[in-house]
Chains A and B, each alone.
Chain A
Amino acid sequence: MAEIGDRYNTKCPGVKRLMREALELAEATEEYCARPLEDNLFEWHFTVQGPKGTDFEGGIYHGRILLPKEYPMHPPHIILLTPNGRFEVNKKICLSISGHHPETWQPSWSIRTALLALIAFMPTPAEGTIGSLDYSPAERKILARKSRSWVCSQCGEISSLLSSTAAKPPTEEEQSVLNQIAFKGEEEQANKSQPPVEPVQQIQRPVLESTEPDASLLDQLTEIIVVLLIGAIAIFFYRRYNAFYNINQTEI
């Protein structure tokens, strides 16, 4: 860290903040680890453990964190490098509060918040949002197994980067944030105006076929359910009517 301190203006709050975060995240945990590149405080590499009890269990996923010069006023961008079946690789994704404008990032969140949120968000449905993939559970499990042998050209074998120390559990505030957060790919336009991200490693397209969400199939399913519901209601009314009619009959 000493050299980085020499190279940047530590009076600048953003730099001071990132150096603090580097210290805070210096020790790897079981769930995540992250550190700045040696020559650039504004680009970090991270590794996260796939959440237990999901298709990603056992998987280890590596990626880049790009910090805007306005950090922490503006959110970090996350780019996954390890094929995972949930997010496209080599594509910027940003976090936001779900259902709200993506620009609801809060300066009191940190890289740790972003990583915890990423882990929590992995098992959620892709729902066709930009940057999301909707691979089948089987495909994701295969990718999870394969991910353990993935190698980053800068960090080496990623499976050795995490430790066995459990991370600090999320605070109450963090937890309430995690429940609301969503990740989304960046808009196409913004991507064009920014310098293209140079791929750190040639990523092979997974041999598996991707199962894109089939909208027409979904529509058909909804239709069937609606028809069934209407039928059920009709039968219900018919029976009630019959019962009512019978009572009237007996009274007479």
Chain B
Amino acid sequence: MADDASSSSSYAGNLGDNSINQDELIMKQQREIEKEISESIPLVGDLEPLSSLEQEYTEDPVYLLKVKDLFSKYKYIRRTRPDGNCFFRAFSYAYLEYLLTDKTEYEKFYEIAKTSKDTLVALGFSQFTVEDFYETFMEVLQRVGEESGGTLEALEAARAELHDKFNKQGHSDYIVVYLRLITSGQLQTQQEFYQNFIEGSRTVTEFCRQEVEPMYKESDHIHIIALSNALNVGVRVKYMDRGEGSQVIAHDFPEGKTPLVHLLYRPGHYDILYT
């Protein structure tokens, strides 16, 4: 997947022995790859029937079996741009879309979202930059609330509006940044617990600074656990890889919580699934 490309350094071999600026050259190449990707795939795509996934793997019996397994539970897929932000983008899109149909859940979530900023400021994040992201996030959320539980027609329009916002780089990225901050906040407030998930000698804060807060950094289990816990939102991730068996294994975060967001994971990338 393209996400893989952005974290791989296998290009170094092609660059000969020019050691002076190899890092810079790799980065330049990465930027070019990223640009290519961003020009060809929308931030969040249209709803597609799951069969479009089947077409990707016509020559691949392992994956075909697994797609068949997916068919038993899901009907549609919505692809997201593989730019390293796909988990955050897919999660927020799918959840906000769900909130359009469930006003009670919206009210509950609104309260959690409203106080989320204070946690971040208390952690020492600069107030005015946090506010900047918070306000855009709340604006989008409130629009969802206004339309939540409306007539079918109104919902259709609201969905289109949400889709439009998620495909405007400015707004879309602001939502991603805010979710990254919430994830970082959760990791830092529950340091003792999350420290166990971090490999190597990095502290939780260092990990946040390097792997959570910067844009385009891919998400791992730890990001999903932290975000789903911080927002108290159930997420089911279907893991589709070359592993044995014909079944696609599902993981629920936080464990035991009813999933409202369904994501498909293929190595390095997340898309949204619909029942």
Contacts and interface: CB of A to CB of B under 8 A. Distances in A.
A214 B21 CA distance: 20
A177 B209 contact: yes
A81 B171 CA distance: 35
Contacts of B177: 73, 107-108
8 contacts: A20-B128, A100-B210, A102-B23, A105-B214, A106-B209, A108-B126, A187-B24, A189-B25
A173 B123 contact: yes
Which of A14, A101, A174 is the most central at the interface, judged by chain B CB atoms within 10 Å of its CB? A101
B24 A174 contact: no
A8 interface: no
Contacts of B132: 13, 16-17, 20
B174 interface: yes
Contacts of B213: 106, 108
A172 B124 contact: yes
Interface of B: 21, 23-25, 27-28, 123-126, 128-130, 132-133, 136, 169-171, 173-174, 177, 181, 205, 209-210, 213-216
Contacts of B28: 187, 189-190
B129 A109 contact: yes
A81 B226 CA distance: 44
Given A73-B215, A173-B123, A13 B128 contact: no
Interface of A: 12-14, 16-17, 20-21, 24, 70, 72-73, 97, 100-110, 112-113, 171-174, 176-177, 180, 187-190
Which of A17, A70, A173 is the most central at the interface, judged by chain B CB atoms within 10 Å of its CB? A173
Contacts of A180: 209
A106 B170 contact: no
Can you list the 3 inter-chain pairs with the closest CB atoms, starting with the nearest? A173-B124, A187-B24, A172-B124
A173 B210 CA distance: 14
Contact of B126 (A100, A101, A105, A174): A174
A72 B21 contact: no
B136 A113 contact: no
Contacts of B214: 103-106
Contacts of B136: 13
Contacts of A109: 126, 129
A13 B174 contact: yes
Contact of B171 (A13, A17, A177): A13
Contact of A108 (B25, B130, B170): B130
Nearest to A189: B28
A107 B128 contact: no
B124 A171 contact: yes
A187 B28 CA distance: 9
**B contact patch SS:** helix
B139 to A, nearest CB: 10
A110 B209 contact: no
Nearest to A174: B126
Which of A104, A108, A113 is the most central at the interface, judged by chain B CB atoms within 10 Å of its CB? A108
Given A20-B132, A108-B177, A102 B125 contact: no
A174 B130 CA distance: 13
Contacts of B129: 17, 72, 107-110
A174 B128 CA distance: 13
Nearest to B24: A187
A104 to B, nearest CB: 5
B21 A108 contact: no
Which of A12, A70, A104, A188 is the most central at the interface, judged by chain B CB atoms within 10 Å of its CB? A104
A176 B128 contact: no
Nearest to B211: A104
B126 A113 contact: yes
A112 to B, nearest CB: 8
B128 A24 contact: yes
B270 to A, nearest CB: 20
Contacts of B126: 108-110, 112-113, 171, 173-174
A97 B210 contact: yes
A103 to B, nearest CB: 7
Nearest to A180: B209
A107 B133 contact: yes
Which of B23, B125, B181 is the most central at the interface, judged by chain A CB atoms within 10 Å of its CB? B125
Given A14-B170, A176-B205, A187-B24, A108 B210 contact: no
Given A171-B126, A173-B123, 12 more contacts: A13-B174, A17-B129, A24-B128, A73-B215, A97-B210, A101-B27, A106-B213, A107-B133, A108-B181, A108-B213, A110-B126, A189-B28
Contacts of A21: 128
Contact of A187 (B21, B128, B130, B170): B21
